[in-house]
């Protein structure tokens, strides 16, 4: 038995790994399946096949695994698709460790195909595209080598170099063809069994919670993933970096360790929510929260007045969702989704605002201090502020002092009994939550109403939109100024308000996010409407509604180009078909045989069971039958016509049949006259 080509096996194993990775990136495949597959892959790549000696026994062991997975699905502990994917991974692992035969290789690659399909069902990530591409390339190379290896006689070398190039070219064409199919296959969906895809690459880290706890380390600040995209109207065209606060929610109660809100959630769900009266020159925002955001809290530029028209993005498309009001001016989407988009109207910065609807308890809470607050905090605040009576001026004094005297750092010592005391009097360094907490509480000790706000700060311009990263998460202070509403005062040094990620990492992630954005809009969210637009775009350029340009009379140049390309394609196809060797008129030759057999049967000389025309002709010749000389040239002409050497000429079939008919008549007459 020939030793299988090592390169082919390595390619096969790696293609299976790519297929498994397409499922694994969804983070839904259980750890035990991951570990088992990884071990099997490592062993297989070293060239060892330990299950080769007992393929049937190990295959039987898969049955209990299937049973356990079924039980897990039946008991609701595991999703059906996840269970199927896990089982496919285990089957692939078993096959990888079995002896390499043609059947095994085929099974490995087909299981890989199933895993790719499973990956498509589990994940919508850009990485899936890479896995799919890797699988397509590696599996094609492996299969191609297997085909050639099987055809090479034993003892001869497999022409690996000669095979690789055409295979790679073919794979490239297949991938291009896949893209064309993808664009053109009509998006007709029955929409009967829909799964929810994973939220994104890795876990979302910028999610909002009901509390803000001081302490820990500020790793979020170094996360460059994009969580929000917004299009603003009016568009600050020339502003590359916004210095804007994107508020998510506010907190009014501090217990010494963490911030929370006393306001209760409202049961009513609405499609539009008005938080405060509008004003002139409101800023309109069309906001998209991306999967990396990982929360259902709405974000809006300060100070939001109206929010609504929210859509939830799911793997099957977008659907409308309603909003729920919670305490702390927080709004949440009612439905879960991969991402969300919605519209917001915010008051322009500097506008006097309504503080919002607060009951007396909530209003009193704006001055509440933790029971164990260090008395030095108030002393410090008084020393800095002096006898300033204006809340905003006091807040600005404190803010400037904090920025001047305290250091910004993301390296903290972890959970402490009194993090504020540690920040103000011990370490004198902290992150935005420490600065904002210190400012808020110091204001409260002086009798100024204030609260903590969390959200994001900044915004980079990308194209016509602004993006906000997870590292832009920020906390600041709202000071209630009588007659002007809540005013934002930020105690964090300005240089540290936006994300603190490494520049090169930020660039790489930006690139990845841009490609992922294209992937999502062009692939994951590709729809029937996009198909129509694509087809329409082949003949008509998209119209700019803002342009007053008149439509040109007659078809546009694009239509001519498309028509030209189609004509060229048709011409090429016709040329190709006309260059192909002309097939013999199959029907003509077959009809000739049918007619001959019919005539022979009518004459009482039917072909025997399984006897071809050649056999009949040979028999007649052997038996010196009078019809032999007529049938032999006819049979020869049939074979010539059948195998493409000399097609039957026009009228030749009828002529030969006429000759046969005459010969049969003559034979019949001769038979009758010889009869006694």
Partner 1 sequence: MRARLRPPRTLKVTGMGRTYLVVTFGVGLGALNTGNNLLYLVLGLLLSVIILSGVLSERCLRDLSVRRVGNEGAFAGEPFAFRWALTRRQGHAFALTLSEVDVPLTGEGGVGHLPAGAEHVVRADLTAPRRGPVKLVGVRVTTTWPLGLFAKTRVFPLPGTLLVFPRRGFACATPEDAATGHVGEAHHPHRLDGTGDLAGLRELGEGEDARRVHWLKSASAGKLLKVEREREERRTYVLEVRAGLADEALERRCEEVAEQAHRLLEAGHEVGLELPGQRLRPGAGSGQERLLLRALAWVGFEEQREEAA
CB of 641 to partner 1, least distance (A): 11
- Is the Cβ of residue 39 or residue 178 nearer to partner 1 in the bound state? 178
Residues 306-325 contacting partner 1, CB under 8 A: 315-317
Phi, psi of 605 (to 5 degrees): -125, 55
CB of 630 to partner 1, least distance (A): 16
Number of shown-chain residues binding partner 1 (CB under 8 A): 80
CB of 94 to partner 1, least distance (A): 17
CB of 69 to partner 1, least distance (A): 19
* Part of the chain binding partner 1 (CB under 8 A), chosen from 23-31, 169-177, 396-404, 654-662: 169-177
Q: Are 488 and 392 in contact (CB under 8 A)?
A: no
Determine, following the binding rule CB under 8 A, whether residue 149 of this chain makes contact with partner 1: yes
CA-closest candidate to residue 500, choices 222, 272, 113, 309: 222
Residues 269-308 contacting partner 1, CB under 8 A: none
Q: Are 121 and 4 in contact (CB under 8 A)?
A: no
CB of 103 to partner 1, least distance (A): 8
Q: How many residues does the chain have?
A: 676
CA-closest candidate to residue 310, choices 321, 299, 324, 325: 321
Q: Which of residues 47, 166, 447, 604 is near partner 1 by CB under 8 A?
A: 166
Q: Which of residues 167, 283, 292, 344 is near partner 1 by CB under 8 A?
A: 167
- Is the Cβ of residue 22 or residue 253 nearer to partner 1 in the bound state? 22
Q: Which of residues 643, 654, 655, 670 is near partner 1 by CB under 8 A?
A: 643
CB of 578 to partner 1, least distance (A): 14
Determine, following the binding rule CB under 8 A, whether residue 560 of this chain makes contact with partner 1: no
Residues 376-405 contacting partner 1, CB under 8 A: none
- Is the Cβ of residue 415 or residue 594 nearer to partner 1 in the bound state? 594
- Is the Cβ of residue 343 or residue 530 nearer to partner 1 in the bound state? 530
Residues 527-546 contacting partner 1, CB under 8 A: none
DSSP letters along 542-603, please?
A: PP-TT--PPPPSS--HHHHHHHHHHHHHHHHHHHHHHHSPPPP-HHHHHHHHHHHHHHHHHT
Determine, following the binding rule CB under 8 A, whether residue 569 of this chain makes contact with partner 1: no
38: left (phi over 0), alpha (psi -120 to 50) or beta: alpha
Other CB atoms within 10 A of residue 237 CB:
8
Q: Which of residues 151, 504, 577, 675 is near partner 1 by CB under 8 A?
A: 151
Alpha helices in 369-498 (DSSP H): 375-385, 391-405, 419-421, 432-445
Determine, following the binding rule CB under 8 A, whether residue 524 of this chain makes contact with partner 1: yes
Q: Which of residues 279, 429, 639, 657 is near partner 1 by CB under 8 A?
A: 639
CB of 49 to partner 1, least distance (A): 20
- Is the Cβ of residue 526 or residue 667 nearer to partner 1 in the bound state? 526
- Is the Cβ of residue 150 or residue 557 nearer to partner 1 in the bound state? 150
CB of 156 to partner 1, least distance (A): 7
Indicate the SS3 state at residue 332: strand
Determine, following the binding rule CB under 8 A, whether residue 526 of this chain makes contact with partner 1: yes
CB of 152 to partner 1, least distance (A): 4
Determine, following the binding rule CB under 8 A, whether residue 82 of this chain makes contact with partner 1: no
Helices (H) and strands (E) in the chain — how many of each? Answer: 19, 21
- Is the Cβ of residue 173 or residue 393 nearer to partner 1 in the bound state? 173
* Part of the chain binding partner 1 (CB under 8 A), chosen from 222-230, 410-418, 465-473, 519-527: 519-527
**Cα(128)–Cα(108) distance, integer angstroms:** 19
Q: Are 86 and 20 in contact (CB under 8 A)?
A: no
Strands 245-251 and 450-457 come out as antiparallel
- Is the Cβ of residue 318 or residue 378 nearer to partner 1 in the bound state? 318
| Tokens (6 digits) for 95 | 């096959």
Residues 177-236 contacting partner 1, CB under 8 A: 177-182, 185, 187-195
Handedness of CA 282, 357, 392, 376 (dihedral sign): negative
* Part of the chain binding partner 1 (CB under 8 A), chosen from 57-65, 176-184, 298-306, 549-557: 176-184
* Part of the chain binding partner 1 (CB under 8 A), chosen from 129-137, 246-254, 370-378, 486-494: 129-137
**Cα(295)–Cα(636) distance, integer angstroms:** 81
Residues 84-123 contacting partner 1, CB under 8 A: 103, 106, 109-110, 113-114, 116-117, 119-121, 123
Which run of H or of E encompasses 462? strand 460-462
The residue whose two tokens read 């659907």 is: 319
Q: Are 343 and 272 in contact (CB under 8 A)?
A: no
**Cα(450)–Cα(439) distance, integer angstroms:** 9
CB of 406 to partner 1, least distance (A): 49
- Is the Cβ of residue 68 or residue 535 nearer to partner 1 in the bound state? 535
The residue whose two tokens read 């079995």 is: 98
Question: What HEC string does 12-63 produce?
Answer: HHHHHHHHHHHHHCCCCCCHHHHHHHHHHHHHHHCCCCHHHHCHHHHHHHHH
Could you tell me which residues come within 8 angstroms of residue 646 by beta carbon, excluding any fewer than 6 positions away?
584, 637, 640
- Inter-axis angle of helices 160-184 and 126-151, nearest 10: 140
CB of 91 to partner 1, least distance (A): 13
- Is the Cβ of residue 189 or residue 233 nearer to partner 1 in the bound state? 189
CA-closest candidate to residue 146, choices 101, 195, 90, 85: 101
**Cα(250)–Cα(453) distance, integer angstroms:** 4
Q: Which of residues 84, 90, 132, 384 is near partner 1 by CB under 8 A?
A: 132
Q: Which of residues 35, 54, 147, 518 is near partner 1 by CB under 8 A?
A: 147
- Is the Cβ of residue 33 or residue 641 nearer to partner 1 in the bound state? 641
Strands 429-430 and 407-408 come out as parallel
Determine, following the binding rule CB under 8 A, whether residue 152 of this chain makes contact with partner 1: yes
Q: Are 467 and 376 in contact (CB under 8 A)?
A: no
- Is the Cβ of residue 149 or residue 288 nearer to partner 1 in the bound state? 149
Residues 396-455 contacting partner 1, CB under 8 A: none
| Tokens (6 digits) for 149 | 């290896």
Residues 574-633 contacting partner 1, CB under 8 A: 583-584, 586, 590, 593, 610, 612-614, 618, 621-622
- Is the Cβ of residue 91 or residue 244 nearer to partner 1 in the bound state? 91
Greatest pairwise CA separation for the chain in angstroms: 148
CB of 660 to partner 1, least distance (A): 17
CB of 26 to partner 1, least distance (A): 11
């Amino acid at each position: 038995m020939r030793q299988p080509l090592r390169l082919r096996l390595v390619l096969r194993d790696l293609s299976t790994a790519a297929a498994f990775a397409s499922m694994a990136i969804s983070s839904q495949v259980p750890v035990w399946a991951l570990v088992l597959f990884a071990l099997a892959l490592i062993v297989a790549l070293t060239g060892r096949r330990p299950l080769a000696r007992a393929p049937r026994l190990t295959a039987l062991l898969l049955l209990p695994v299937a049973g356990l997975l079924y039980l897990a699905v039946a008991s609701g502990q595991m999703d059906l698709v996840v269970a199927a994917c896990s089982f496919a991974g285990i089957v692939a692992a078993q096959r990888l460790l079995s002896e390499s035969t043609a059947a095994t290789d085929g099974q490995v690659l087909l299981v890989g195909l199933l895993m790719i399909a499973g990956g498509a069902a589990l994940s919508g990530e850009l990485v899936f595209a890479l896995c799919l591409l890797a699988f397509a390339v590696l599996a094609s190379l492996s299969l191609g080598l297997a085909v050639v290896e099987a055809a090479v006689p034993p003892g001869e070398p497999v022409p690996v170099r000669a095979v690789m190039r055409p295979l790679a070219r073919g794979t490239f064409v297949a991938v291009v063809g896949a893209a064309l199919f993808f664009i053109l296959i009509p998006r007709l969906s029955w929409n009967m069994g829909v799964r929810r895809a994973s939220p994104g690459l890795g876990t979302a880290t910028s999610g909002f919670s009901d509390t803000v706890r001081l302490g820990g380390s500020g790793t979020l600040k170094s996360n460059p993933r994009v969580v929000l995209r917004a299009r603003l109207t009016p568009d600050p065209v020339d502003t590359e970096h916004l210095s804007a606060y994107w508020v998510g929610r506010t907190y009014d109660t501090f217990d010494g360790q963490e911030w929370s809100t006393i306001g209760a959630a409202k049961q009513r769900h609405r499609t539009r929510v008005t938080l405060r009266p509008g004003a002139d020159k409101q800023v309109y925002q069309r906001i998209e929260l991306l999967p990396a955001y990982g929360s259902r809290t709405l974000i809006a530029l300060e100070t939001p007045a109206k929010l609504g028209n929210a859509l939830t993005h799911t793997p099957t498309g977008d659907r409308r969702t309603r909003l729920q009001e919670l305490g702390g001016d927080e709004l949440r989407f009612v439905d879960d989704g991969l991402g969300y988009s919605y519209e917001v109207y915010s008051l322009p910065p500097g506008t006097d605002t309504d503080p919002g609807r607060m009951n007396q308890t909530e209003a009193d809470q704006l001055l509440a201090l933790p029971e164990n607050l260090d008395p030095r905090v108030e002393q410090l605040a008084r020393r800095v502020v002096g006898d300033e009576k204006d809340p905003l001026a006091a807040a600005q004094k404190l803010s400037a002092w904090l920025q001047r005297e305290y250091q910004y750092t993301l390296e903290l010592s972890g959970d402490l009994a009194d993090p504020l005391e540690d920040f103000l009097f011990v370490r004198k360094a902290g992150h935005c939550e420490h600065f904002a907490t210190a400012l808020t509480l110091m204001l409260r000790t002086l009798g100024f109403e204030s609260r903590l706000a969390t959200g994001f700060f900044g915004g980079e311009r990308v194209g016509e939109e602004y993006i906000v990263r997870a590292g832009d998460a920020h906390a600041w202070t709202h000071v209630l100024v009588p007659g002007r509403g809540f005013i934002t005062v930020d105690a964090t040094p300005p240089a540290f308000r936006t994300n603190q990620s490494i520049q090169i990492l930020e660039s790489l992630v930006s690139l990845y996010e841009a490609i992922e954005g294209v992937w999502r809009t062009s692939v994951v969210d590709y729809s029937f409407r996009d198909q129509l637009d694509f087809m329409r775009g082949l003949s008509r350029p998209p119209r700019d509604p803002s342009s007053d340009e008149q439509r040109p009379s007659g078809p546009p140049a694009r239509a001519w180009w498309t028509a030209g390309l189609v004509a060229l394609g048709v011409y090429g196809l016709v040329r190709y078909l006309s260059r192909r060797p002309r097939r013999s008129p199959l029907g003509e030759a077959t009809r000739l045989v049918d007619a001959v057999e019919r005539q022979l049967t009518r004459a009482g000389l039917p072909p025997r069971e399984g006897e071809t025309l050649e056999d009949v002709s040979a028999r007649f010749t052997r038996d010196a039958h009078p019809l032999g000389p007529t049938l032999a040239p006819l049979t020869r002409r049939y074979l010539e016509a059948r195998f493409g050497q000399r097609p039957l000429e026009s009228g030749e079939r009828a002529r030969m049949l006429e000759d046969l008919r005459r010969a049969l008549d003559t034979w019949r007459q001769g038979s009758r006259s010889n009869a006694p």
